[in-house]
A = this chain, B = another copy of it.
Amino acid sequence: MAKSELPAYEQVKAFIKQRIGSGQWRPGDPVPSEAALMQQFGISRMTVNRALRELAGEGLVTRVQGSGTRVAQLHRISSKLTIRDIHEEVAERGHVHTARVLLAVREKAAAGLADSFGLRTGAVVFHSVLIHMENGVAIQYEDRYVNPAAAPAYLETDFTQTSPTLHLLRHAPLTEASYSIEACLPTLEEARELGIKRGEPCLAMMRRTVSGAHVASVARLVYPGTRYSFAGQFQA
């Protein structure tokens, strides 16, 4: 009707967000039903439904069929942590990314590693180790194992030109990934190659990626604590 600039479903979302954000509606309180919002806004149910469905996806409300929609318990702050190809990340800061390859070989997998890949102990896996640098300063030690079944041409890559992550994204479409981040002290070799003291704390990310039926890659990424941090943001 009106020449309103905002789509109707966005208006409904804004209305509800305002009520929640201002504290008028508290966690656990009921949100008006789709029928009620239809009437109130004079719009069709599909439109109201879309608004509520998106709010549920954002974690602001909880919907239960047959019961109703309620303001969610906001006991968690959920935000996106984006893990990106390091070359792209450095380039976006307007800096120069370079890499030094310390190792790029095929190896027989030890028992634990073979397990991670779902392979037999002693099966061949690819193993690469490199140092990533931003404007000449080492910022990441990347120790990675790759499943040949997922990326057979892995070792033919010039890792100074194409980062291992990029090669894998291109040749082994990602279907699943998991990671964990912890604090640690660098090993002797990591400290030497990163050019830091052994006592300097580091962030270590363990990452495991799955491509289709294969575990594609298992990597340990070590960042000097003083040169790197993960940041994130959240907006209601």
Binds B, one of A70-78, A102-110, A141-149: A70-78
Report if A174 contacts B (CB, 8 A).
yes
Give the interface segment out of A115-123, A126-134, A153-161, A176-184. Answer: A176-184
Q: Which among B83, B176, B229, B232 is the interface contact of A178 at CB below 8 angstroms?
A: B232
Do A81 and B84 touch (CB < 8 A)?
A: no
Asked if A79 lies at the interface with its beta carbon under 8 angstroms from chain B, I say: yes
Assess whether B179 is in contact with A232, with CB atoms less than 8 Å apart.
yes
A32 within 8 A of B: no
Interface residues of A in 61-94 (CB under 8 A from B): 74-85, 88
Residues of chain B with a CB closer than 8 A to A7's CB = none
Contacts of A76 in B (CB 8 A): 82-85, 88
Determine the chain B residues whose CB is within 8 A of the CB of A203 once the complex forms: 181-183, 203
Partner of A79, one of B23, B81, B233: B81
Residue in B closest to A50 when the chains form the complex, CB atoms: B50
Supply 15 further A-B pairs (C-beta < 8 A) apart from A78-B81, A175-B235, A203-B203. Answer: A22-B212, A46-B46, A77-B82, A81-B232, A175-B236, A176-B233, A176-B235, A177-B233, A177-B234, A178-B233, A181-B230, A182-B229, A183-B202, A183-B223, A201-B202
Binding site for B on A (CB under 8 A): 20-23, 27, 46, 57, 74-85, 88, 166, 169-170, 173-185, 199, 201-203, 209, 211-212, 223, 225, 228-236
